[in-house]
Amino acid sequence: MKKLKMAELLEKMDKGQSCSGLDIEIPMAVGRMLMKSGAETYRVEETMNYVAKSLGVQHFSAYVLNRGIFASGTNEQGIKESGVMNVPDTVYNLRKVEEVNTLSRSLSKENRIPKAEIFRRLDAIDKIEGYGFFWILVAYYFGSFGFAMALGVPFMDSAISGLAGICLGIASYYLSRFVSTSYIMTILGSCVVTLSVNVMYYFGIGEHPSRVMLGALMLLVPGAFFTNSVREFSQNNYLVGTSLLLTAMLTCVSMSVGVAATAEVLPFAMQMGEAQGINFYGVLYKALCAVTAGMGTVSFALLYQVHYKYFWDIGIIGSVSWFIYLMVEDISGMDSMAVLFSGIFAAVFSRSLAAKRKCPTTIFLSTSIFPLIPGIGVYKAIYYLITGNGALSLKYGRSCFLTAFTIAIAIGIVQQIPQSFFQKKSK
C-alpha cells in the first residue's frame, strides 16, 4: 500500500475519490501521532487495535518499534490491507497524546464516525499549538529554581540557577530551528549552562557554581525517556526499552561532554566539584524542598505541553512523592528504600488520577516521578569518568544503578494491579 499524507487523503475523500487501504491507514496514523508525541509502545499498540476494531477491521495486527509501525488486517469488504509507516524523532507533547486518547474513546462500532472526520480530527490535533515563548521561559526559570531548591541548594544560588535556566531556554528555542540532532542540542545546552554559570560567578554572582549548575542541568535530564524505558521493560518490551535507555544514556554523556569541554576552554571556569554536604534539616525545610520539587515537576509538565488543567495534580504528586523520599531517607538512611516508597506512591496516584480524569497515565507519571530519576547521578558518573576521577564515577554509577532498579521495581509492582481497581476507586 502506498502511504498517503493526511492532507492528500482528506483531499481525495472530499472529491469523492476512493482511497484504497484507508481502513488500515487510520489506525496507523493514530499510532504514528502517539509515538512521535511520546506515548509508550504498548499504549500505541492497544490504541491502534481499539481503533481498528471500531472500524470493523478483522484480524488486525500491529508491531511497533521505536521508529516504525507495521500493521495488517482485513477490512469489512474482506480485502486484506497492510502498511509500513516511518515515525520521526520523538518530541514530547503529552497534550497530543491526551487528545488522541480522547478521540479513540469516542470511536466504537455502535457510533460510527465518518473516516474523513477522523482524519480531520487527527489533522486538528497535529496542529495544536503549544505554550508560547514567554511561558517556556517561565518554565525554564522555575524548573531550574525549583529543582535546585529541592536538591538542597541555598535560595540565592537556586535563584541564579533559574537565570541559567533562562539562558538555556533562549538558546534551546532558537538553536532548535537549525539543529535537529538531539544529542548535539544537549551538548550545546550544557555548554550554555556552564558558560552562563561561570560568567556570572566571574562577576561575583553566586557562591557555588557546582550547585548552581545542578538546577539548570536538571532540565536536560532525559526523564521521560528513562520513565518510558522502565515502563517498556515492565511490559516485556525489551527491545524498545533498551533503545530508550540507550537514548537516555547518550543524553547524559552529551551533558558531561558539554560541561567538561566548556570548563576546559574557558580560562576562568571552574571544573565541577563534589557536592558540598547538602543536608535537609528539619521537617519544615523538607516540606519547603517538596513544594519546590512540585514547582519543578509542573515546569516540566509545561515543557511537555501538558494541559494546564492537570498542573495542580502533577504538582501535588511531585511534592508529596519527594517529601516521602526525604522523610524515608532521613529515617531509614537507605536511599533505595526511600525511592521505592516514593515511586510506588507516584505510580499509584498517577494511575488513580488517570482513571478519574480519563486520560493516559503517562501525563502524570512521566512528570511527577521526575525528581526521583537518577539523571543527574548518571551525568555525574560520566562526567567524573571523563575528567579522570574514577572513585567518584564508580560511586555515582553504583547509586544510579540502584535507584534505576528500584524505580523499575516500584512501577512494576503498581503495573500488576488490575485496571478495574483504579476504575472502581475513581467511581
Examine the domain organization and report whether 96 and 142 are in the same domain: no
Percent of the chain with pLDDT over 70: 89
Question: 383 pLDDT exceeds 60?
Answer: yes
pLDDT score recorded for residue 111 = 67
Going by their DSSP bridges, the two strands 80-86 and 58-64 should be labelled as unpaired
Question: 240 pLDDT exceeds 90?
Answer: no
pLDDT digits over 187-216, tens only?
Answer: 999 999 989 998 898 888 878 888 888 888
Per DSSP, the three-state class of 418 is coil
Using CA atoms in the order 164, 167, 169, 170, what is the torsion angle rounded to 10 degrees?
A: 170
Question: 276 pLDDT exceeds 50?
Answer: no
Examine the domain organization and report whether 208 and 263 are in the same domain: yes
CA gap 164, 145 in Å, rounded:
9
Examine the domain organization and report whether 101 and 186 are in the same domain: no
56-62, Cβ contacts within 8 angstroms, sequence gap of 24 or more: 56/23, 56/109, 57/23, 57/24, 57/27, 57/81, 60/27, 62/27, 62/31
Residue in 314, 251, 326 with CA at minimum distance from that of residue 283: 326
pLDDT score recorded for residue 22 = 63
Examine the domain organization and report whether 322 and 394 are in the same domain: yes
- Assess contact for 425 and 353: CB atoms under 8 A: no
Examine the domain organization and report whether 117 and 204 are in the same domain: no
β-strand partners of 70: 63, 84
pLDDT score recorded for residue 280 = 57
Residue 146 grid cell: 525549583
Domain termination residue (choose one: 90, 107, 126): 126
pLDDT digits over 298-336, tens only?
Answer: 998 999 999 999 999 999 999 999 999 999 988 888 888
The sign one gets for the Cα dihedral 280, 284, 288, 290 is positive
Examine the domain organization and report whether 208 and 329 are in the same domain: yes
CA gap 407, 285 in Å, rounded:
25
Examine the domain organization and report whether 34 and 163 are in the same domain: no
pTM value?
Answer: 0.85
Q: What ranges in 72-114 are assigned the alpha helix state H?
A: 94-106
CA gap 60, 53 in Å, rounded:
8
Examine the domain organization and report whether 48 and 183 are in the same domain: no
* Inside any domain, residue 1: no
Q: What ranges in 127-237 are assigned the alpha helix state H?
A: 133-150, 155-175, 182-202, 209-218, 223-234
CA gap 219, 215 in Å, rounded:
7
Residue 399 grid cell: 547509586
Examine the domain organization and report whether 113 and 140 are in the same domain: no
Domain of 119 in residue numbering reads as 6-126
pLDDT band at 1 (very low <50, low <70, confident <90, very high): very low
* Inside any domain, residue 313: yes
| DSSP one-letter code for 162 | H
Examine the domain organization and report whether 186 and 291 are in the same domain: yes
Examine the domain organization and report whether 146 and 57 are in the same domain: no
